[in-house]
Structure 1
Amino acid sequence: MKSQKIEEMSNEALLKHKKTTELATGMLAGALSILLVMTVFLTIKKGLHATSISLGVIPFAFMPILIINWNNLKAIKKELNSRQNVV
């Protein structure tokens, strides 16, 4: 499936895409934050084990996805603001 460019999408589609991207980004950020806190707690509680190291890698591995979603969300907001100024 080929995705449309932001400039080619309608206002309704942009608003829907913005809402789902905000939700997904927020949930991912929350899950990564909780996992990072759990990793720090596990490391303090039990020391540096293979489990705490492997759990600690996951938030940093998924950080690029979070950054990409954040940048897409900024682009969508910018496009919606430019359309509101024109109309």
Structure 2
Amino acid sequence: MKNKALTEYTNKELVSNEKKIKAITIMLGIAILLLFLSNIVITFKRGFSALNVIPLALLPILILNINNWNQLKKEKANRKL
């Protein structure tokens, strides 16, 4: 499936996608934060393990989602929605 450019979205699609990405980004951020906190506790109790790098591996996805969210907000502002 080919992604459309932001300028090709209808107003309804733009608002809908912005809401979805906002919710997903917030949930992912909370999940990564919880993983960091639990890794700190587990590291002190049991030591370092290979699973401690999972939150670091998920950070690029969070950064991409934040960038997409910001682009959608800019497009909404340009259209004055």
- Please say if residues 39 and 56 of structure 1, whose CA atoms lie closer than 8 Å, have aligned partners that are also in contact: yes
4+ runs deviating over 4 angstroms? none
Which structure has more relative contact order (CA 8 Å, sep 6+)? It is 2
Identity %, equivalent residues: 37
1:40 corresponding residue in structure 2: 40
1:57 corresponding residue in structure 2: 53
With 32-41 and 76-85 compared, the bigger mean Cα shift is at 76-85
- Please say if residues 35 and 55 of structure 1, whose CA atoms lie closer than 8 Å, have aligned partners that are also in contact: no
Provide the C-alpha distance between the structure 2 equivalents of 1:7 and 1:62, rounded to a whole number of angstroms: 29
2:29 corresponding residue in structure 1: 29
Return the TM-score normalized by structure 1: 0.86
1:12 corresponding residue in structure 2: 12
CA RMSD of aligned residues (A): 1.3
How many pairs were matched up?
A: 81
Which structure 2 residue ranges, 5 or more long, are not aligned? none
The answer as to 2:72 corresponding to 1:76 is yes
Which structure 1 residue ranges, 5 or more long, are not aligned? none
Give 1:8 shift.
0.7
Q: Which protein has the larger Cα radius of gyration, Structure 1 or Structure 2?
A: 1
